[in-house]
Copies of this chain bind each other. A is one copy, B any other.
Amino acid sequence: MAISGDLLIGGASIRGAAAPFSASNPADASTMEPSFAGATREQVEKAASLAWEAFPVYKETSLEDRASFLEAIAERILALGDELVLRAIDETGLPRGRIEGERGRTVGQLRLFAKEVRDGNFQELRFDPADPDRKPAAKPDLRLRNVALGPVAVFGASNFPLAFSVAGGDTASALAAGCPVIVKAHSAHPGTSALVGKAVVEAVAACGLPAGTFALLFDAGFEVGQTLVADHRVRAVGFTGSRRGGTALMKIASERKQPIPVYAEMSSINPVILFPDALLNRGAEIGKSFASSLTLGAGQFCTNPGLIIAVDGAGLDAFIGSAAAALSEAPAQTMLTGGICEAYRKGVERLSSASSVSRVSVGKEGTPHQAAAALFETTAAAFLADPELQEEVFGAAGLIVRCKDENELYGVVESLEGQLTIALHIDADDVAAASQILPQLEVLAGRLLVNGFGTGVEVSPAMVHGGPYPATSDGRSTSVGTLAIYRFLRPVSYQDFPGALLPKALRTA
Contact = CB atoms under 8 A, between A and B. Distances in A.
B462 A501 contact: no
A50 to B, nearest CB: 16
A341 interface: no
Interface stretch (A39-47, A80-88, A331-339, A442-450): A442-450
B449 A140 contact: yes
Interface string A249-274: 01000100011010000000000000
A448 B495 contact: yes
A477 B493 CA distance: 12
Given A150-B443, A258-B469, A494 B448 contact: yes
A123 B462 CA distance: 12
A471 B68 CA distance: 36
A501 B492 CA distance: 39
A43 to B, nearest CB: 24
A450 B495 contact: yes
A435 B503 CA distance: 9
Interface stretch (A141-149, A194-202, A369-377, A388-396): A141-149
A442 B503 CA distance: 11
A183 interface: no
Contact of A493 (B56, B446, B501): B446
A235 to B, nearest CB: 8
A1 interface: no
Contacts of A439: 55-56, 59-60
Nearest to A476: B490
A140 B468 CA distance: 23
Contact of A435 (B254, B418, B501): B501
A97 to B, nearest CB: 9
A126 B59 CA distance: 27
Interface in A443-466: 443, 445-452, 456, 458, 460-464, 466
A204 interface: no
Contact of A452 (B149, B448, B496): B496
Contact of A458 (B56, B140, B150): B140
A139 interface: yes
Interface in A408-449: 417-418, 426, 431, 434-435, 438-440, 442-443, 445-449
B128 A460 contact: yes
Interface string A117-156: 0000000001110000000110110111001011000000
Interface in A22-66: 55-56, 59-60
B469 A491 contact: no
A462 B125 CA distance: 8
Given A56-B439, A458-B142, A498-B431, A466 B450 contact: no
B137 A462 contact: no
Contacts of A136: 101
A473 interface: yes
A440 B150 CA distance: 11
Nearest to A261: B476
A305 to B, nearest CB: 14
Contacts of A147: 442
A165 interface: no
A478 interface: yes
Given A431-B501, A439-B56, A458 B492 contact: no
A500 interface: yes
B491 A137 contact: no
Interface string A99-113: 001000000000000
A438 B56 CA distance: 9
Nearest to A259: B469
Contacts of A279: none
Contacts of A298: none
A491 B466 contact: yes
Given A448-B495, A466-B491, 13 more contacts: A128-B461, A139-B458, A140-B456, A140-B458, A144-B461, A254-B254, A258-B417, A258-B469, A261-B476, A435-B501, A448-B497, A450-B498, A477-B490
Interface of A: 55-56, 59-60, 101, 126-128, 136-137, 139-140, 142-144, 147, 149-150, 250, 254, 258-259, 261, 417-418, 426, 431, 434-435, 438-440, 442-443, 445-452, 456, 458, 460-464, 466, 468-470, 473-478, 483, 489-498, 500-501
17 contacts: A126-B461, A128-B458, A139-B458, A149-B476, A254-B254, A258-B469, A259-B469, A261-B474, A426-B498, A434-B501, A435-B500, A449-B494, A450-B495, A450-B496, A450-B498, A452-B496, A477-B490
